[in-house]
Chains A and B, each alone.
Chain A
Amino acid sequence: MSHMDHLEVVGKSILKKESPDKATGRAKYTGDYTESGLLHAAMVTSSYAHANILNIDTSAAWQVKGVRTILTGEDSHVLTGEEIRDRPIIAKDRVRFFGETVAVVVADTEAAAKQAAYSMIVQYEPLQVVNSPTQAIRKGAPLVHPNLGQYKAADGVNPIPGTNVASLIKIRKGQMEKGWSDSEVVIENTVSFAPSDHAAMETRSAVAEIRPDGHIVIETSSQAPFAVKKYMGLYFNIEPGWIIVKTPFVGGGYGGKAAIQLEPIAYLASKAVGGRKVKIINTREEDMVTSPGHIGLEARVKLGSTSKGEITAAEIIYWFDGGAYNDKSSDVARAAAADCTGPYAINNLYCDCMTIYTNHPYASAYRGYGHAELTFAIERAMDALAEKLGMDPLELRTMNIVTPGDTSPTRNMLNSSNLGDLRECMRRLRNLSGWDEWKVKQVDANKVRSKGISCGWKNSSMDPNASSGAIVSFNPDGSLNLECGVVEIGTGTKTVLAQILAERMKLDPSQIHVKFTIDTAITPEHWKTVASRGTFMGGRAVLKAADDAIRQLLDIAGCVLRVDPEDLEVGWGKVFVRSDPAVHVDFKDICYGYTYPNGNSIGGQIIGRGHYIQRQMTYLNPETGEVGPEWNVSAQAVEIELDISDYNYKILKAISVIDAGKVLNPKGAEGQVMGAMSMGLSFGNRETFIFNDQGIVLNPTLRDYPLIRYGENPEYIVKFIENPCLEAPFGARALGEHGLIGMPAALASALSRAAGVHLNHLPLFPERIWRTKMRVPYDTV
């Protein structure tokens, strides 16, 4: 018997189970499926950001050969939205952002559908445009949703009818008067950035069909197939059992594919053609503006501290630019509000967090869920405070960070399990970045190098009743199938879950067969593949399923070996007597039932099931808060080289130190963090929608919306510390988003130091640095 100790599988860089499929082009994504008889849908989208629809002339479109149906806003009266039911599936009477779906054509071929869509003539009456949160909250601003008071809103969402405020969340703690009177130094800092995009390489797509028996089958490139099932049921008043959602591999999500948007369009289209299968696939331009993107922000942070640097008071106002429809933006804002101070212990706190309607493309979840955004606001203020105090910015942070015994902004008690060890992360960062050696230095006549730092924390911020389930079933050879609802969006989570299962069963991971495709008819529910929660929740469910299977194995082995199951153990494909391992029975002889020599048989296929629901989660109280369950932390740094002759700069190095709790798969974890860092740097350095004064997005293509490419990446340094979260499988904390969270702030910090100005507006185009330096006003685009 080989000796496989505990934690033999977990903690190893086991190659991803999907690697052979992905390296050969065999991996199938939603858009890859085709079949004869499939119909294709194409959209007509709005060319205005805010306008009344006067008329849609479909006559030329109907002339195109192969057109089967044309849908407009008149064809559905359903309003959708997870937080506020404010969004028609197809715009009705009015468009509220550039790119909004105005009509949908269904035809025999993609070419015909597109040609018909191009032939459609839509007449608009332009309306005054709300082009930023500042404009939205001005007195007399046009209302994006005059009927806001009539919409249904979920618990915890607080719209203010008659305004453009989709939701207001207030966080209050301590006594502000005392906080301000204790303070000797006060700073105020404002930051902003416009909405941008997730830009996953796979554009979103969906296929819908209504079967003769009434089942609605939707295939979709979604991070949230179970939410699609739930909300489709809700929107169309269908019992969820009649809705089957399937999701194969997903080509990148980053939060953007957790939104429900193309699925209802595909369903309406299929319904209009008698239930035939209809496929819709976003063009890149549609994926960028028609489907939801990344939220924008304007924020003002006022901090008060003693002359020694102890922060005594904070007043924080966030105006999130959620765009034309609420989708998840008020929930992103809720998450930001709950962690509004960043990872600092501030006892006197006043925070108003608003989600604002504008005539911009609307926002859904985005990697970090409000945290990169709040971190940018807080960390820029921390730098301003350090400067005013004449303190080392790292010292100021270290002095104020949250530690066990502090309370969160929403007054949750923090301890070493529910809070990562930020002090240790910072200590490591200090060494790795060589912080004490230099912070800014002249390299030659024109080149200046500098470093910037940032600290971050994040709560998972999931719905209180989010759950996850897993089924493990045996094959006759004693190997196991693992089925769970985590979507494989590139995080490698299913491989990690296989490792967790292998660890518990003490099996080689090659003995675990993972099913990738989600089919909500049989796959146990996993709420959504978001919030870096797949490993935690899926892992807990898998452990429970493993234990369930083990119990069944022991029961039947107890009969076969005529011993008390209590005296048995599993491992290496066998069940054996703990005190005498030579007495054993192989999995393969019992996992499909056991047959005695005379033919008598007992048992049957062993199927283990497990589920997990987060404990002690509550709705956020709008006045005081309350959230859970745990906060994960990171400390990050960026080193840049700025050319002061033209303000071009290079990002030389980016460092992340993250409290991972326990690293389950080192290569996978490192890759997740580097990818997130790349995305965060891209967001800080170059990504934004460019709006003209009419709210039109001028750059909805990958040519004009440049992403970081090969060779533009810095050197990455990723380090983990392992301070376990006691509730997580093997102590593993979330880490898929933390690499992103501090990057924009650290980049701005480094560039501000090099340029000798305060850079508070993203993205940090060289031109923006030059304008700030030269005091040339920037257009508020």
Chain B
Amino acid sequence: MRDGAHVVKIELYVNREGRSVVARPADTLLHILREELGLTGAKPGCNNGDCGACTVVMDGWPMKSCIMLAVEAAGRQVTTIEGLRDTPIQRAFAEKWAFQCGYCTPGFIMNCHALIQNRPDATDEIITDWLQSNICRCTGYKEISEAVKSVLVTGKDTL
């Protein structure tokens, strides 16, 4: 009988630390981050790639950790919300009231963080293109927009 007990050992680099984990080949990165490494900042919202709550940064780019296998992350640099400390985007989210329940927030912040690193001069179109991969059910997105624009080079003067 299949029992799902077959496991592999993986070397992960999470938040600049090397971590060895034992995982089933079918385990998603999200599952391993949360259940094995205790990094529960990344949230499951759909486990289907639809909501972005599980977004982490992978080698500098945002990645939905629910649709990536943990084994695929081996040898790559993973940053989760726990790996950010007092960054401008975190401060902006708090100061601009860019969250209510906060469940979507780690995913949004990670996506915004990658956007700021990759496209500090992002236009409205680019911001929309990036942030449409995440859902916030609580806010009307206005505050999220203000938060990200307050950190982007392009948005600074317009606010």
Q: Is A467 in the interface zone, CB < 8 Å from B? A: no
B80 engages A713 (CB within 8 Å)? no
Does chain B have a CB within 8 A of A275?
A: no
Which residues 690-714 of A sit at the B interface, judged by CB distance below 8 A?
A: 701-703, 707-711, 713
A513 within 8 A of B: no
Q: Mark B23-47, 1 if CB is under 8 A from A, else 0.
A: 0101100000011001111111111
- How far apart sit A200 and B46, CA to CA, in the bound complex (Å)? 11
B19 at interface (Cβ–Cβ under 8 A)? no
Does the CB pair B138–A677 fall under 8 Å?
no
28 sample A-B contacts, Cβ–Cβ < 8 Å, listed by A number: A23-B93, A23-B94, A23-B109, A24-B82, A25-B42, A25-B80, A29-B103, A63-B1, A66-B3, A109-B4, A115-B4, A201-B135, A251-B101, A284-B47, A671-B140, A674-B142, A674-B143, A701-B48, A702-B135, A707-B137, A709-B134, A710-B128, A710-B141, A711-B124, A711-B128, A711-B141, A713-B140, A716-B142
Cβ proximity bits A500-530 to B, threshold 8 Å, 1 near / 0 not = 0000000000000000000000000000000
Q: Which residues of B contact A21 (CB under 8 A)?
A: 102
Contacts of A490 in B (CB 8 A): 99-102, 138
Q: Which of A20, A27, A31, A677 has the most CB of B within 10 A?
A: A27
A45 to chain B, nearest CB (A): 16
| Interface hits, B137-159 → A, CB 8 Å | 137-145
Task: Confirm or deny: B65 has a beta carbon within 8 angstroms of a beta carbon on chain A.
Answer: no
Query: Is A202 an interface position by the 8 A CB rule?
Result: yes
A537 to B141, CA, bound (A): 29
Shortest Cβ distance from residue B8 to the other chain A in the assembled complex, whole angstroms:
14
B116 to chain A, nearest CB (A): 15
CB proximity to B under 8 Å, residues A32-90: 32, 34, 63-66
Contact with A along B75-102 (1 / 0, CB 8 A): 0000011101000001101110101111
How big is chain B's contact interface, by range? 35 or more
The answer on a CB contact under 8 Å between A710 and B132 is: yes
Interface residues of A (CB under 8 A from B): 13, 15-16, 18-29, 31-32, 34, 63-66, 109, 111-112, 115, 199-203, 249-254, 281, 283-284, 489-492, 667-668, 671-672, 674-675, 677-679, 701-703, 707-711, 713, 716
A115 to chain B: which residues have CB within 8 Å? 2, 4
The distance in angstroms between the C-alpha atoms of A283 and B95, with both chains bound, is: 33
Contacts of B81 in A (CB 8 A): 24-25
| Contact in complex: A111, B135 (CB < 8 Å) | no
- Residue from B27, B90, B136, B145 whose CB has the most chain A CB atoms within 10 Å: B136
A681 to B, closest residue via Cβ: B140
State how many angstroms separate the Cβ of B111 from the closest Cβ of chain A.
10
Given the complex, which residues of B lie within 8 Å of A668, measured CB to CB? Answer: 97
Is B50 in contact with chain A by the CB < 8 A criterion?
yes
Per the bound structure, the CA–CA distance linking A203 and B51 in Å amounts to 12
Decide: A201 and B43 in contact? CB cutoff 8 A.
yes
Q: Quick check: B105 and A23 within 8 Å, CB to CB?
A: yes
Which residues does chain A contribute within 8 Å of B91, judged by CB atoms?
A: 23
Complex CA distance for A63 and B2, rounded to whole angstroms: 9
**Chain A residues whose CB sits within 8 angstroms of the CB of B90 once the complex forms:** 23-24
Q: Are A713 and B142 in touch, CB under 8 angstroms? A: yes
CB distance from A663 to the nearest CB of B (A): 14
B106 contacts A201, CB within 8 Å? no
> Among the listed B102, B132, B138, which residue makes an inter-chain contact with A711, where contact means beta carbons less than 8 Å apart?
B132
- Quote the shortest CB–CB distance from A33 to chain B (angstroms): 8
Residues in B whose Cβ lies below 8 Å from that of A63: 1
Q: Complex: how many Å from CA A109 to CA B5?
A: 10
- Distance (whole angstroms) from the CB of A456 to the closest CB of chain B: 18
B102/A702 in contact, CB under 8 A: no
Note all chain A residues with C-beta closer than 8 A to B135. Answer: 201, 702, 707, 709
Q: How far is the CA of A689 from the CA of B144 in the complex (A)?
A: 28
